[in-house]
Amino acid sequence: MKKLLKSSLLTLASLALLTGANAKTLENGVLKIATEGTYSPYSYHDKNDALTGYDVEVAREVAKKLNLKAEFVEAPWDAMLAAFDAGKADIVFNQVSITDERKKKYDYTVPYTVAYAALVTHKDNNEIKSFEDLKGKKSAHSATSNWAGIAQKYGAQIVTVDGFSKGVELIISRRADATINDSVTFYDYINQRPNAPLKIAASGSEPIYSAAIVKKGNEELVNDVNKALGELKSEGKLKEISVKYFGKDISE
């Protein structure tokens, strides 16, 4: 009887924590997570082709807190958001910056990353020395990324690409003048390709916060994920994952 009662209480506790997930997710015991899989060091495949990265590990830990199996849905940025909008995933963990425009369409969890913008150009480019110098220049970005929004704000002409790596390829081949991303992504790229002819021409001073997104109105899932992220933070797990990939804590 005691064992049965204990088992029942554990089941109720698990269900209480999972109130935000939709019925299908609950039934299957799976949290479907949209991510790019090509965005190092946040979401990428290692030398053994295993999906890994800061966002991927954070997402797995959140799913574990919710007693769900993490299942990833991978696609380039714009296709990833389209898949999420079409109901192919429950949540997105992929350095989604918090913007007023996105708040109209999605609900955000609490942020788990703080970053600063880096304006990247060819190392021989002496014309672009500040964000203001982007006016009239070609800047390579995923079409719906917040970085593209920043470039447009400064008058840049957007050249659409699938992610940061494709963007810098255009800069190296001189088919684009610049791109914007966070400095961590740039230094990770340079660490893997030390001879790439690139530089940071300017850095932003305002922090940019990134969080997971869920469908608008799914407050219960947001609350459940927020609780899980809060526990990961207080337990030091977020810091541990961050230090593993960046050598420092970028979660706050």
What domains can be seen in the chain, in order of their start residue? 30-114+209-246 (3.40.190.10), 115-207 (3.40.190.10)
Does residue 14 carry a pLDDT above 50? no
Q: Is the pLDDT of residue 106 over 50?
A: yes
pLDDT at 26 over 90: no
Q: Please tell me the distance from the alpha carbon of residue 13 to that of residue 6, in angstroms, as a whole number.
A: 11
Judging by DSSP bridges, how do beta strands 117-122 and 198-203 pair with one another? antiparallel
pLDDT recorded at residue 24: 52
Q: Is a pLDDT exceeding 90 seen at residue 5?
A: no
Tokens at residue 91, please? 């949540």
Q: What distances in angstroms separate CA 7 from CA 18, 68, 206, 208, one per listed residue?
A: 17, 18, 49, 44
pLDDT, position 227: 98
In this structure, what are the phi and psi dihedrals at residue 20, rounded to the nearest 5 degrees? -80, -25
pLDDT(16) > 70: no
Closest CA to 134 of 146, 115, 148, 113: 148
Phi and psi at residue 135, to the nearest 5°: -55, 120
pLDDT of residue 15 exceeding 80, the answer is no
Percent of the chain with pLDDT over 70: 89
Please write down the HEC assignment for all residues of the chain: CHHHHHHHHHHHHHHHHCCCCCHHHHHHCEEEEEECCCECCCEEECCCCCEECHHHHHHHHHHHHCCCEEEEEECCHHHHHHHHHCCCCCEEEEEEECCHHHHCCEEECCCCEEECEEEEEECCCCCCCCHHHHCCCEEEECCCCHHHHHHHHCCCEEEECCCHHHHHHHHHCCCCCEEEEEHHHHHHHHHHCCCCCEEEEEECCCCEEEEEEEECCCHHHHHHHHHHHHHHHHCCHHHHHHHHHHCCCCCC
- State both tokens at 55: 């966002």
From the list 213, 103, 124, the residue with the least C-alpha distance to 173 is 124
pTM score, two decimals?
A: 0.78
Tens digits of per-residue pLDDT, 142-160?
Answer: 988 989 999 999 999 999 9
pLDDT of residue 144: 87
Task: Estimate the crossing angle of helix 54-65 against helix 219-234, to 10 degrees.
Answer: 110
**The pLDDT of residue 7:** 40
Using alpha carbons, select from 190, 172, 175, 173 the residue that is nearest to residue 160.
175
CA 225/CA 68 separation, integer angstroms? 12
Per residue in 67-98, pLDDT (tens digit) is: 999 999 999 999 999 999 999 999 999 999 99
Q: What per-residue confidence (pLDDT) applies to 22?
A: 52
In the chain, the amino acid numbered 204 is G
